[in-house]
Amino acid sequence: MTAFIEGRSVDAQQKNELINRAVTVRQFAHAPYSKYQVGAALLTKSGKIYSGCNVENASYGLAICAERTAIVKAVSEGERVVEAIAVATADGGTPCGACRQFLAEFCGSDATVIVYDTQANSEVEFTLGQLLPNAFDLP
């Protein structure tokens, strides 16, 4: 089942590509502590797709989420505007608060956030503004 929520949307081909890449990169997650593997793939304004997985560390504060990994990869390649992101987990978990705020730095509140549940083979689509209605913003 797919739920569509108003906001900027990606076309079906882009959405499928983002989900497929998020699912694929999820297998590379380094999650020996939480056992919670996450994959993310984002689409930039230029049309390029960047992916990332979560990487945990014994010093848990040093861990990095899949969403932030993908954003850091995009930024390191000169990208600054994220149009959409897909996040894949075993249970349809949404991005954490830190990732939501991190996304807000590089995309508008109308950016598409696709959450894919690998067990149920289903997705739900949000806008970033729905997930983070009062994002911290600098003037």
Residue 135 lies in a domain: no
Residue 137 lies in a domain: no
Task: Give the separation between CA 43 and CA 14, rounded to whole angstroms.
Answer: 8
| Segments of the chain scoring below 70 in pLDDT | 1-9, 138-139
Task: Give the separation between CA 100 and CA 64, rounded to whole angstroms.
Answer: 13
Residues spanned by the domain of 6: 2-130
Can you give the CATH number for the domain in which 99 is found? 3.40.140.10
Q: Which of 23, 42, 49 is nearest to 84 (CA)?
A: 42
Residue 22 lies in a domain: yes
Looking at residue 9, what is its pLDDT?
A: 67
Looking at residue 76, what is its pLDDT?
A: 98
Total domains in the chain come to: 1
Give the residue numbers marked as catalytic: 67
Residue 136 lies in a domain: no
Looking at residue 10, what is its pLDDT?
A: 87
Residue 32 lies in a domain: yes
Task: Give the separation between CA 76 and CA 95, rounded to whole angstroms.
Answer: 21
Looking at residue 15, what is its pLDDT?
A: 96
Distances (CA, A) of 32 to 21, 76, 90: 22, 27, 16
Looking at residue 5, what is its pLDDT?
A: 42
Looking at residue 1, what is its pLDDT?
A: 33
